[in-house]
Structure 1
């Protein structure tokens, strides 16, 4: 039976894979000519840089999420708090992606990023506590 943290980690990987697919679709009119408008323009041109930026974001702060999860899988506590923090992070990443790609609401994106940030800090605090009290 897989560790409970494998599911939220997989969900984040799937989000990243979905973003690669979306980026490919958004670039298709420019790169391959597929889906161009009659005038030759790309109907997804406004979304392409947002998707690209969001995809890059999936390899920044989330790195600390995956490292914390791996450390917890291989020797940290496994409890409801840890699982809740992991799913809060994943839900926040999905929401962050939607906000960044579909809107220009930087304030809301910042609020959601803070939620992601705190969830990962929480995972690291659990690790720290477990390793100082063992």
Structure 2
């Protein structure tokens, strides 16, 4: 199995987990279950942050997937690409935790930088790999 498949699957798992979390957070409003004794939604404050984070999983990660798909059949670049892919996943998990559990926008921006740089690194590896193939 190609070593880039596992980090890609890990991102799918993270996104799936966020869908489950959002479903639970919306359960009091949608299904009327898991309400506080006074009838309020215990997830009301965090539900919009979960929703926003889930939307984020379909923005910058698109570039991650595109780079991984380009590199998946490039054995010469696979080691560096795999490391960068796992850094991206660690950054995505950290970004999700910060966005959902805090309101610290500055910290969220700093954590996002991990994802941003890892993806730029993947694209750099892809460009260099395919440039060397073209000139060979």
Shorter-chain TM range is over 0.9
Q: What root-mean-square deviation, in Å, do the aligned CA atoms of Structure 1 and Structure 2 show?
A: 1.1
> d(CA) in 2 for partners of 1:6 and 1:90?
12
Query: 1:76 offset after TM fit, Å?
Result: 6.3
Worse-matched range after superposition: 66-75 or 10-19: 66-75
Return the TM-score normalized by structure 2: 0.94
**TM (normalized to structure 1)?**
0.95
Q: Separation in 2 of the partners of 1:78 and 1:109? A: 30
Equivalent residue, structure 2, for 1:29:
28
Q: Distance in 2 between matches of 1:5 and 1:127?
A: 13
- Superposition deviation, residue 107 in structure 1: 1.1
How many residues end up aligned between the 2 structures?
A: 133
Report what 2:83 is aligned to. 84
Query: Retained in 2: the 8 A contact 1:76–1:130?
Result: no
- SS at 2:33's partner residue? coil
Equivalent-residue separation in structure 1 for 2:74 and 2:83 (angstroms) = 18
Decide which moves more: 51-60 or 110-119. 110-119
Any gaps of 5 or more consecutive residues in structure 1? none
Q: Which residue of 2 aligns with 1:20?
A: 19
* Matches for 1:91-110 after TM superposition, within 5 Å: 91-110=90-109
Residue of structure 1 in register with 2:9 after alignment: 10
Q: How far apart are the structure 2 equivalents of 1:115 and 1:91?
A: 8
1:132 counterpart residue number: 131
Q: CA deviation at 1:23?
A: 0.1
Structure 2: gaps (5+ residues) = none
Shift of 1:75: 4.1
